[in-house]
Amino acid sequence: MKRILLFLLLFVSAITFSDTLKNVSYNNGKLIGTFRENKQIIPNASVTKLGNEDVLMLSFSDSQMESSVPAFINRNDQYISKVYTVESNGIVVVYVYLKPSITYQVTSRSGEFQVALSNGQAAAAQNPRYTAPQRQVNNNNSSNARITQAQPQSQPSNISRGNKKYTIVVDPGHGGHDSGARGNGYNEKDIALQVATRLANNLRQDYNVIMTRDSDFFVPLDTRAKIGNDANADFFISIHLNSSSSSSANGTEVFYFSKKDQGSYATQVAKFENKVDGSYGDVPFSDFILNDIFYRKNQKTSQAIAESVLNNLINTTGLRRRGVFGANFAVLRGSNSPSILVELGFMNNYSDLSQYLTPDGQERAANAIGSAIRSYFR
């Protein structure tokens, strides 16, 4: 028995990533990343076109990143607009959103890489322009660590706190290799992104707004919450669409985080949304929210906003009101701010889905949600 345990310990200890990213920082045209290991680590660098922006992707295979690495860096200088850092399945990717005509030079030395940016003609990759939502013609899903489709045409503007009082995080569910629910020839990830982008643009009139993703790439569930926490966000909202084995299932529902699911149905929905990143779904709540009073305060606020969002959506779309529920959603659990998850309707019910397939329908939904958020954050 001891030999078996020793073997298992040795086996588990052998399953480690060779490189660990310690920090990513940016200042005035220079991006610096540092690794725990004191060796030369060279990223795989490429540029892809997302809407009107060139995005430099620096990928590191067989790597992980420490929890202290900022998932999101907000800048609006002459070189970049923002930086995302994402870890998934042993690959770390740094996404640098370049301003027009910016060139880059990557250098590497022991335990560190640097990206020097300068004015010039940036080379763009030949990825197709994104015009979602479109019907699926094949089921080839993207890699975890690559952006495979470009930004919807309503490009989010840069983020700056400025004089605005509140910061709102808008999280389009799923993305990249994770298509989410499928129905009537559409993928949840595409429609969620379209509605979320319109919501973000709506909210920017009055708030600082951050999107956890603004194109078709995958962001781990814990990273989504961390993006908001790093920005000291005041509210987090995740946009989704539901699915069911029953074609008659229909309606809209909104969830807030609760340590205990409110019934078997809430448990079922939470399990579906958590399964893409199941290990994170099992992390103890105490690792994220240290104070139970803080948790209760967020829960009450989240529940109140959830009710307002649902009421506005039902009054706008005329869809069935399914209710507001507390559930153990992984993407909400890590948030330090009040947070909700909206299931707009059912992908497999075309009457529900058709509400969100047109720009007008998406805009109406965004306006309804935005109005509810404004009623609380004044």
Phi, psi of 344 (to 5 degrees): -65, -35
Lateral strand order in the sheet of 44-50: 44-50, 53-61, 91-98, 80-88, 72-74
**Mean pLDDT for back-to-back runs of 10 residues, the chain (378 residues):** 48 58 94 90 82 82 89 89 84 90 90 90 37 36 32 36 79 93 95 97 95 90 87 94 91 88 54 50 40 67 96 97 90 87 96 96 98 95
Beta strands 19-27; 30-35: pairing state = antiparallel
Residue 286's pLDDT is: 37
Q: For residue 110, how many other CB atoms are within 10 A of its CB? A: 10
The SS3 call for residue 127 is coil
CATH 3.40.630.40 domain locations along the chain: 167-376
CA atoms of 220 and 242, how far apart (whole Å)? 19
Q: CB-based contacts of 120: which residues, under 8 Å, 6+ apart?
A: 101, 102, 103
CATH 2.60.40.3500 domain locations along the chain: 18-119
Task: Using CA atoms of 310, 301, 328, 279 in order, give the dihedral in degrees to the nearest 10.
Answer: 110
Residue 316's pLDDT is: 97
3-state helix, strand, coil in the chain (%, to 5): 30, 30, 40
CA atoms of 104 and 118, how far apart (whole Å)? 6
Residue 351's pLDDT is: 96
Tokens of 112: 């560190």
The SS3 call for residue 50 is strand
Residue 126's pLDDT is: 35
Q: What is the CATH number of domain 167-376?
A: 3.40.630.40
- Say which CATH class 18-119 falls into: mainly beta
